[in-house]
């Protein structure tokens, strides 16, 4: 038989920190013990590349800017509001 879709938990957004191969929740969650979940990882931080050589860093930044200029955002791209870009609650 098919599972009763109304008895499945609603999707939840949970914050966690990844340490030593484990996701450590930053808040409590209301899930049954032993339930299998599917993770969609979205980092809240952007990690800069670790380039210590000045010339290599300059070359990297030059190539990055060139790629950005070759792939501009289309004029008809959707516009996102602040509320759409930042979680609330």
Q: What is the pLDDT of residue 30?
A: 79
- pLDDT, tens only, 64-84: 999 999 999 899 988 888 888
Place of tokens 């899930």: 31
**What's the predicted TM-score (pTM) here?**
0.37
Place of tokens 């509320």: 83
Q: Does position 58 have pLDDT exceeding 90, yes or no?
A: yes
- pLDDT, tens only, 9-43: 567 788 888 888 888 888 888 788 888 888 888 87
Q: Give the DSSP H or E segment for 63.
A: helix 54-70
Q: Which residues pair with 17 in a beta bridge?
A: 24
Q: Which residue has the higher pLDDT, 43 or 51?
A: 51
Say how far apart CA 11 and CA 59 lie, in whole Å.
43
Tell me the pLDDT band of 1, cut-offs 50, 70 and 90: very low
Q: What is the pLDDT of residue 80?
A: 85
| In the chain, domain spans | 5-74
Say how far apart CA 80 and CA 38 lie, in whole Å.
27
Contact 16, 26 (CB under 8 A): yes
42-50, Cβ contacts within 8 angstroms, sequence gap of 24 or more: 44/15
């Amino acid at each position: 038989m098919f599972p009763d879709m109304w008895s499945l938990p609603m999707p939840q957004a949970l914050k966690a920190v990844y340490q030593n191969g484990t996701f450590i929740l930053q808040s409590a969650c209301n899930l049954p013990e032993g339930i299998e979940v599917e993770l969609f990882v979205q980092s809240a931080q952007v990690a800069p590349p670790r380039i210590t050589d000045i010339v290599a860093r300059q070359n990297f930044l030059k190539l990055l800017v060139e790629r950005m200029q070759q792939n501009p955002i289309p004029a008809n791209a959707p516009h996102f509001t602040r509320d759409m870009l930042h979680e609330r609650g």
